[in-house]
Amino acid sequence: MAAATRVLARNWRGSYTVPAAGLYPHQWSWDSAFIAIGLRHISPRRAQQELDTIFSAQWADGRLPQIVFNPRLDVHYSPGAAFWRSERIPGSPPVPTSGLIQPPNHALAVLLVHQADPEASARRRFLPRAYERLLAWHGYLADRRTDPSGLVHVLHPWESGMDNSPYWDAPLAAIGETFRGDIPRPDLDHADASHRPSNAEYGKYLYLAARYRDHDCDDRDAGYPFVLEDPAVNALYARSEWALGRIAELLGNDPAPHADRAHALTEALETLWAPELGCYVARDVVSGELQPYRTVSGLAPLLIPDLPHTDELLTMLESEHFGLGQAALVPSHDLTAPTFDSSRYWRGPSWFNTAWLIAEALHERGFHDEARSLASQMADLGLEHDFPEYVDPISGEPRGTLRFSWTAALSLDLYE
Ligand code: 2M8
């Protein structure tokens, strides 16, 4: 507990927590929600502040930005504030941000942070304030990002939080273009190149980001070349609608619209079910093709109550593809796939945030032993390796950077 608390203190910047001191020197949206979930055990007030800070960077259209930049550290991360120039874009907030989004885990975090200390929450009027922000955020997803299928889409691999997942290989390859300018890689000063996405992938990332920026981050432009429906993004959205319903109830409002939305998303997720793989997959909206890979994103719908494929997903989790109980945590990609890479970012390594989500889902479904064993593995691996960003699922060795905030925060959550 003390070691995790120290990491969070070291990465605290007065009103938010950076994911890691060198590699990620700004505030990231879904990181902050995961961090707040752990922070609530040390200081509910700091956890509220973490979320308030990300909410204060909300755009006029309701989007919560992927990154809120500290402009003084712009050369240390790419692409930064000078790339996005968000201040020129109508509806952007007074602080510099990226125009993209990240997965919507915020309502889940707000509910847990509130419940950790309802009195402190009431004193600071945290819940009503957060509720307004969450309504606008979910409204943005419903109005600007929802497809005729009923699912929300991402317009960039970064929006999924799982940057180089194999899901994106074919859709990125189908885009003939790449970024023509310089491709700075300050990330390689802080992590081994073999643990990070490739230069070719960064060329595509920057091309797509620049294109979105140059269209003023306007979602009504129909011509984006990368439009993908991701299972984890939609599962977190559904799960967050359930949380928002509970928040509405606590504030004396009607929870029914949130339950309806969560049900509609669960039903729409059916279009991403791949029976031959035994899990959910992503769909490329441009080509219409399902992306035939088993990834941890495809297991994330376990987070939703009343899911039709729960048994199949549990079987998949325990199979040789994800090796629950055998592998370290939960691999980000199928251990048996030719595309599996035990070190490279979201193509195989096990991450602590996804392990936490799966542990939560197992716990809620009554698999208490399995949930506890995953939780204690997280705590042990975190402590043993100084809270790594991710680990090799076979050896358990640390990968990426160390003293990573959500690893520390979520390990703390599990000490309870
Ligand atoms: C990673 O993504 C950023 C871009 O957002 C990057 O590669 O520079 C991902 O692991 C993402 O899920 C995470 O939120 C972010 C910061 O920890 O790093």
Confidence of residue 1 (pLDDT cuts 50, 70, 90): confident
Confidence of residue 415 (pLDDT cuts 50, 70, 90): very low
**Residue 413: what pLDDT?**
81
Residue 134, amino acid: L
Q: Mean of the pLDDT values across residues 109-126?
A: 97
Tokens at residue 172, please?
Answer: 């990125």
Q: Is 389 annotated as catalytic?
A: yes
**Residue 139: what pLDDT?**
98
Reduced to 3 states, what is the DSSP secondary structure of residue 34? helix
Reduced to 3 states, what is the DSSP secondary structure of residue 241? helix
Q: Is the pLDDT reported for residue 192 higher than 80? A: yes
The answer, yes or no, to whether any atom of ligand 1 lies below 6 A from the CB of 352, is: no
Peptide bond into 393 cis (omega under 30): no
pLDDT digits (tens, 9 = 90+) for 343-385: 999 999 999 999 999 999 999 999 999 999 999 999 999 999 9
Q: Specify whether the CB–CB gap between 105 and 33 falls below 8 A.
A: yes
Read out DSSP for 332-399?
A: SB-TTSTT--SSSTTSS-EEHHHHHHHHHHHHHTT-HHHHHHHHHHHHHHHHHTTS-SEE-TTT--EE
pLDDT digits (tens, 9 = 90+) for 261-279: 999 999 999 999 999 999 9
Residue 252, amino acid: G
Q: Is 87 annotated as catalytic?
A: no
Of ligand 1's atoms, which has the minimum distance to the CA of residue 100?
5
Q: Mean of the pLDDT values across residues 323-328?
A: 96
Q: Is the pLDDT reported for residue 15 higher than 60? A: yes
**Residue 222: what pLDDT?**
72
Of ligand 1's atoms, which has the minimum distance to the CA of residue 405?
17
**Residue 294: what pLDDT?**
98
334, 389, 392, 413: the active-site residue: 389
Confidence of residue 151 (pLDDT cuts 50, 70, 90): very high
Q: How far is the CA of 346 from the centre of ligand 1 (A)?
A: 10
pLDDT digits (tens, 9 = 90+) for 33-80: 999 999 999 999 999 999 999 999 999 999 999 999 999 999 999 999
Of ligand 1's atoms, which has the minimum distance to the CA of residue 98?
5
Question: Which of 35, 158, 296 gets mutated to test ligand 1 (max ligand atoms within 8 A of its CB)?
Answer: 158
**Residue 221: what pLDDT?**
76
* Number of other CB atoms surrounding residue 154 within 10 Å: 26
Tell me the pLDDT of the chain averaged across its residues: 96
Q: Left (φ > 0), alpha (ψ -120 to 50) or beta: where does 387 sit?
A: left
Given CA atoms 63, 65, 71, 75 in this order, what sign does their dihedral have?
A: negative
pLDDT digits (tens, 9 = 90+) for 236-253: 999 999 999 999 999 999
**Residue 220: what pLDDT?**
84
Domains and CATH numbers, the chain: 2-325+364-373 (1.50.10.10), 326-363+374-416 (no CATH)
**Residue 416: what pLDDT?**
44
Q: Mean of the pLDDT values across residues 100-118?
A: 98
**Residue 414: what pLDDT?**
67
Confidence of residue 232 (pLDDT cuts 50, 70, 90): very high
Q: How far is the CA of 44 from the centre of ligand 1 (A)?
A: 25
Q: How far is the CA of 161 from the centre of ligand 1 (A)?
A: 6
